[in-house]
Chains A and B, each alone.
Chain A
Amino acid sequence: MRLSWLVPFTLIASASLPAQQKEQKVLLGHAASATVSIRLMAAVGNIRVIGWERDSVEMSGAVPFGVKVELFGGTPTERSKGIKAFADVPADQSGREGKLLLKVPRRATVWLKTGSAEVDVSGVVGGLDLNIVGGSIAVHGSPRELRAESMDGNVVVDGAPDWMRVKTATGDITLNGGQDVGASTISGAIRTSGGEVERAKLETTTGGISFSNTLARGANVELETHSGPIDILFASHADVELDAATITGAIDNLWIKQRPVPGREGRGMTFAASSGTGSARVTARSFKGTIQLRSQVPIFSK
C-alpha cells in the first residue's frame, strides 16, 4: 500500500461556508493499526462511532464555530497504534451542539468521554469505554469488552459483548445479550434479555430489575435491589437453582408449584427452589421490593 494514502488529512472547511452559517465542517484522519487505541474527548451533541474494514481512523462532522477539533496520531507516515482526539468548546457554548462521526478499524479500542450527547456505536468488536453525563448511549454489535457509564442518560446495548459493565445514576439500562454482565444504577431501571448469560450481577437502589436471559450451564446470576421490584422470567425448561429473599417485601411466585416461606422473625419472605438439573444459580435479594418469579411457559397459575 502506498504510504501517501496513509498520510493524515485534515480539513476544517469553515472558510467555504457563508459567514452567517454557525457551523464548521470537520474532516480529520490518520492511518491506524487494526487494533488502534483511540481516545476522544468531545463536547458535542451527537457522536456516532462506526467500525469499518479499513486501516485508518476518520473523524468527520460539523461543530459550532469556535469549537477546536484536533486529532493526533503520531508520525504521519506510520500506522498509528494510538490516536488522541478532542473537540474543545469555548466557555460561552453549551457543548450540546454539533455532530461527529468517528470511523475506526473494527478491532479498535475506543475510549470516549463527553457531556450530554447522544452516543451511538456500531460495528466495533474491540473494546469500548464510553462515558457520558446526559443524553444516551446505544451500542449495536458485540464488542469484546464494553464499559459504559452515565449519570441520567439511558444506556442500551443491543449485542452480546463478552464482558460488559454499565453504570448510571438515574438512567435506564437495557441490555439485549451479553455473557458476563454487570449493571448498576441508583434509580434507573435495568432490563436484560436475550443471549445466553454466564455471569450477571444487576443491582439498583430503587429502580426495577427485569431479567429474562437464557442461562448458560453453570451460570451465576445475582440480582439485588433495595426497594425496586425484581422480575425474573425463566425459560420454560431452565436448569436453575434459585435462592430468593426479601427483608420486608413479598415474593410472588408464578414459576413452580412451591410456596415462599416467611423470613426471619416472620418478616419478609424467602424462597429456595430448583428446576431441571439446577446447574445455574440465581440469587435475588431485596430489602422491600417485590420479587416476582415467572416462567415463559407458565407451569401453574395462582
Chain B
Amino acid sequence: MTDHLSFDQLCDLQDGALDLRDASAARDHMRSCAACAEQFAELSALGSAAAALPRVIDPPADLWGDIRAELAPRQPRRFAREYHWSRSNLVAAAAVIAVVSSALTAVAIRRVDPRPDTVVAAAAAAPEPATAVAVALPARLAMTEVGYTKSVEALQRTLAERRSSLAPSTVATVERSLRIADSAIAEARTALAQDPGNKALVKLFASNYERKIDLLRRATELSPRT
C-alpha cells in the first residue's frame, strides 16, 4: 500500500467497521507510515474520550434469558436413528416410491393450471405478516415473500432490542408507519391472490415490502435517545 489511509478508512478501522483483510492491510500500512499511525492514534484517543463520558447502559434484564435460549442445545432429531436395510429392501422401497410418484404426477398433470406459476398456500410457505390475510400467492411470489419476511423479522428483532433506547415519540412514528406499510402489503397481497399475473401489482407489492424493510433498517440505525 503506497497511498496514505483515507480518513474514512481510519474511522472505519477505529469503529471496527473494516473487514479482517482490510483491517489487517491498514494495520500493516501503519507500521511503516508514521503519519497514518499518528492520525489513527489521535482518532483512537478521541474515541477513548467519548467512551469515558459518564454514561451507563444497562443491558435489558431479560437479555441473558434470550442468549441462553439461543445457546441451548437443540433437541436431538426424532428421526435421527439409523436404519440398516438390506439391498433388496432398498430396491423394493425405491420401486414403490417410483410407482406412487408417477401416479401422483399423472393425476396432477391432468389437473394442472395453465398458468406457469403454480399456486401455493403462502401461509404454509411463509411466516405470515401480522396484518396479512392468509391468501394464496403464486409460488414465485410466495418465495419472494419468504425472503422479505425473513428480513423483516430479523430487523424487527433488532428494533425490539433497541426500542427502550429510543425516544417514545420516535417509536410511535415508526410503529405508525409500520402499520401503514403492513396494511398496504395486506391489501396488495389480497389483490395479487386474485390477479397473480398483474405485473404492475407485483411491483407495487414488492415496493411496499421494500419500503417497510428500509424503514425498519433506518429505525435500527437511529442513535440512542433520539
Contact = CB atoms under 8 A, between A and B. Distances in A.
A116 B170 CA distance: 10
B146 interface: no
Contacts of B226: 43, 95, 114-116, 133
Given A82-B6, A186-B177, A287 B223 contact: no
24 contacts: A37-B7, A43-B225, A68-B53, A72-B42, A72-B46, A113-B223, A115-B223, A116-B226, A133-B167, A133-B226, A134-B169, A149-B218, A151-B170, A167-B218, A170-B173, A186-B180, A186-B215, A187-B176, A224-B203, A224-B204, A226-B188, A226-B208, A264-B195, A287-B204
B184 A115 contact: no
B39 A74 contact: yes
B215 A169 contact: yes
Interface in B23-65: 35, 38-39, 42-43, 46, 49-50, 53-55
Given A72-B43, A134-B169, A287-B188, 14 more contacts: A75-B35, A83-B7, A84-B7, A95-B226, A133-B226, A151-B170, A169-B174, A170-B176, A184-B214, A186-B177, A205-B184, A226-B188, A286-B204, A287-B191
Nearest to A83: B7
A245 interface: yes
Interface in B117-139: none
B200 interface: yes
Contacts of B187: 226, 287-288
Interface residues of B, number: 46
A208 to B, nearest CB: 14
Contact of B180 (A152, A203, A206, A247): A206
A184 B215 CA distance: 10
Contacts of B180: 186-187, 205-206
A285 interface: yes
B8 interface: yes
Interface of A: 37, 39, 41, 43, 68, 70, 72, 74-75, 80-84, 86, 88-91, 95, 113-116, 133-134, 149, 151-152, 167, 169-170, 184, 186-187, 203, 205-206, 224, 226-227, 245, 247-248, 264-265, 285-288
Nearest to A287: B204
Contacts of A133: 167, 170, 222, 226
B202 to A, nearest CB: 11
B11 interface: yes
B88 interface: no
A152 B173 contact: yes
A151 B214 CA distance: 12
Contact of A151 (B35, B46, B174): B174
Q: Please provide the 10 A-B residue pairs with the shortest distance between their CB atoms, ordered closest to farther.
A: A82-B7, A115-B226, A226-B184, A186-B177, A169-B177, A133-B226, A72-B46, A152-B173, A245-B200, A74-B39
B10 interface: yes
A285 B200 contact: yes
A169 B223 contact: no
Nearest to A115: B226
B198 interface: yes
B144 interface: no
Contacts of A37: 6-8
B222 to A, nearest CB: 6
A170 B175 CA distance: 11
Contacts of B184: 205-206, 226-227, 287
Nearest to A36: B7
A110 B191 CA distance: 44
B207 interface: yes
B46 A265 contact: no
Nearest to B178: A186
Nearest to A186: B177
A116 B168 CA distance: 13
A85 to B, nearest CB: 10
B39 A75 contact: yes
A70 B46 CA distance: 8
Interface centre among B6, B38, B167 (most CB of A within 10 A): B167
A127 B200 CA distance: 35
Contacts of A245: 200
B181 interface: yes
Given A95-B225, A151-B170, A287-B204, A84 B11 contact: yes
B18 interface: no
B17 to A, nearest CB: 13
Contacts of A224: 203-204, 207
B157 interface: no
A170 B174 CA distance: 9
A247 B11 contact: no
A94 to B, nearest CB: 9
